[in-house]
Amino acid sequence: MLLLSPDGHRSEISRLMPCSGCNNEAELHALCLALDLSHGAGAGHLVLRGDSNVGLSYVRGSDTTTIERLLVLVRRARDSLRNFEDVQMIWIPRHRNGEADRLSRQALGLSEKQQKIVRSRRRT
């Protein structure tokens, strides 16, 4: 997770989860942590950009789940939203979220993705 303050201060957080679960669960854990850290830093207005459309949809209420361990995290995130005057949640495609992808791979102990080399072909 990457936290950016209005003054440009960057905090990168990449943690290995102590338990197993699905990617949606990991995304919701990260969202809850971002909310907690932002509130702890005194933020009143928050812009969350995430590539987990499912997680954001659950927290917004535009989608639901019956999986209890996800519901617990959704409720926790919704409760945390009350700590802010204004929160915008914006979905961005994963391919446009390189910093978050790098941090999630780091948390899993994976190497950074190799940049794909695009070579143009000339017609002869």
Q: For residue 74, what are the domain limits?
A: 2-107
* pTM, entire model: 0.74
Q: Is residue 113 part of a domain?
A: no
With a cut of 70, say whether residue 124 has pLDDT above it: no
As for how many domains the chain has, the answer is: 1
CATH number, domain of 69, equals 3.30.420.10
Q: Is residue 117 part of a domain?
A: no
The per-residue pLDDT for range 27-78, each reduced to its tens digit, is: 888 889 889 999 999 999 998 888 788 888 999 998 998 999 999 999 999 9
pLDDT band at 10 (very low <50, low <70, confident <90, very high): confident
Helices 53-60 and 23-40, axial angle in degrees (round to 10) = 60
